[in-house]
A and B are shown apart, each in its own frame.
Chain A
Amino acid sequence: MASAEIVYEHSPIVVGPRRSAYAASRAALAALLLRDVTVLRKDLGVFVLRTVIQPFLLCFVFLFIFPKIGQSVGGAGAAAESAFATVLVAGVVGISIMFQGVQSVALQMATEFGFTREIEDRVQAPCPIWLVAFEKVLSGAIQGVISAAIVLPIASFVHASGVEAHLTLHWLIMLTMVPLACIAMASLGLILGTSFEPRNIGMMFGFIILPITFLGGTYYQWTRLATVQIGSFHWLQTLVLINPLIYVNEGMRASFTNVPHMHLYVIYPVLIAFCVGFLSLGLRNFRRRVLS
């Protein structure tokens, strides 16, 4: 197209009035969230499928196939199988929250930093740079809450006959624990997304996500690890305390079940500490990646 063909409606440039940093930041945050909601709505099918597939497979294998073929986990007999189901369902909600945090924040950020460079435009938003990263965490946490709400019913329905998870919803704990866990895991996503070079994202799954998942108390209660010891030292129970997913999963057990779990006065403060630590480190990383 030659320049002469451009039909141009004259619209003189009027520079807008100066808005306060607060007003501009509030509007920017709302717009960033609105953008994420729009994208989520467009990809709702994929989002639900992505959220459901792992919990469904876990429950299908452990709570349907295993009892059917007589290879039960947690001991033979319906009672033992149901007890394991109760432990597993809460854990499945926990890892769904974690995966949502990694998917919606870490992978998203890796794409925007690496392949598309979209982040360069996003940080020109008229707000402090940390707010752009914080919005990602917020949006990831909201998606985490939605996944938890989708996964819990599915996980509690997929099982062989005779096997049943005994769920008791403790509303007050649930309504505080789930959002807190979601913010903590989305913040973990921010750290991972800003620490790993986009090309090394596969390494992140191998070296970070897998150990966290398998040693995060998804398939077992933390309290039961006390029996693993060298001499009188509960080494495994102590070691896994560095894993943030332990607190998330124990928190889910406290929210949805009556099984023994880590004390709430440990879970809440530690999860809050992880939130603060992950967020401050993640926001610092983000700033370093964006500014030079």
Chain B
Amino acid sequence: MLGEMTSSTIAPDHVATTVIRTENLTKIYAGGDLKAVDELNLTVATGEIFGLLGPNGAGKTTTAGMLTTRVIPTSGSAVVAGVDVVMHPAIAKQFIGVVSQTNTLDRQLTVWENLYFHGRLFGMSSPSSRETADRLLEQFQLSKWAKASVYALSGGMAQRLMVARSIFHSPAVLFMDEPTAGLDPQSRLALWGILQQLNEDGQTILLTTHYMEEAEQLCDRVAIMDHGKILALDTPENLKHSVGVDTVVTIKSSGDQSLLAATLEKNVEGVTKSRVIDAGIELHVRGAERLLARVIAACEAGGFEVADISVAEPSLETVFINLTGKELRD
């Protein structure tokens, strides 16, 4: 379905499968010498949901800002939908849809008018703007709010309206900056559903997030960023395999936690990394055979009493910790 649509419905000048390409894209903000984004080379293909994952200050938002023409790169180049965003920002914006972190809906307009005027802004005729506004409200289940002020919308509904508005002009890429930050869990799930559905219809999406679940659930490919650089880039599955860890074990016990961590790292075979976390000790282990028995035995041999023990598959968080030595959510 997807293949069929991308080939038949994307306009001829966008047949190219690459929809975003950056070359040595760098941003140093005025008044600082820190590279917010450091020689970034990135390629995103048509039809992907691409995630930039990293902690606050990693350079995700700056990257998205440069691609959406709001941040002017210090050096390097970026092309979106075949248009150089630095040289021709006004033209590039025709092909860009943006959902920002904050609610930027027009407070003086109704829900319906927010959509209608967006269509007019992007050069659509009045009838086709009307029709699209009606259709999108229906699609995003906001029809009964059409005449309401945007002040009447809940956070989740406002977010849905912003997504509807951002895809109104059929952008080549939809940029979403931390789309589910501040949403309740239900709204977050609903938004994930919407994004997956849009993607099935061929919408290319680039999102920035510091929620690893979001990246794992949604993204075809994920770039893990820190300090303005991409540390790893692959599918979530491959990233998880790349760390060479099969299992993450969490142990809660009495006694000196760092001593326990050191003991286990030395005495349990296959432990690649150990660290003290809030809930106790976390071990990254390769080779899961008889793992729990071996860990408990090692604890007891060292004189530690195990209160609780649990195992989990490695996540993108594991990948991030392995790459940077720190947690994603600082």
Contact = CB atoms under 8 A, between A and B. Distances in A.
B192 A3 contact: yes
Interface of B: 5, 9-11, 13-14, 29-30, 65, 68-72, 81, 83, 88-91, 93-96, 98, 100, 102-109, 113, 117, 120-123, 135, 138-141, 156, 165, 167, 169-172, 186-187, 189-190, 192-194, 196-198, 201-203
Contact of B170 (A13, A28, A30): A13
A158 B171 CA distance: 56
B91 A24 contact: yes
A263 interface: no
Give chain A's interface secondary structure class.
loop
24 contacts: A1-B190, A6-B193, A8-B197, A13-B167, A14-B9, A14-B11, A16-B11, A16-B169, A18-B83, A21-B91, A23-B123, A24-B122, A28-B121, A28-B122, A31-B117, A35-B106, A35-B117, A35-B120, A117-B102, A118-B106, A120-B102, A121-B106, A127-B93, A292-B70
Contacts of A32: 121
Q: Which 8 A-B pairs have the closest CB atoms?
A: A3-B193, A31-B120, A27-B123, A121-B104, A13-B202, A31-B121, A126-B94, A126-B93
Interface size on A, as a range, is 35 or more
Contact of A2 (B103, B121, B189, B202): B189
B100 A120 contact: yes
Contact of B81 (A13, A15, A123, A125): A15
A25 interface: yes
Interface of A: 1-19, 21, 23-25, 27-28, 30-32, 34-35, 38-39, 42-43, 116-121, 123-129, 290-292
A35 B110 CA distance: 11
Contacts of B88: 21
Contact of A27 (B120, B138, B187, B196): B120
Contact of A117 (B100, B138, B140, B198): B100
Given A5-B190, A17-B11, 13 more contacts: A1-B141, A2-B186, A3-B192, A3-B194, A12-B201, A13-B5, A13-B203, A15-B11, A31-B117, A31-B123, A119-B104, A120-B70, A292-B72
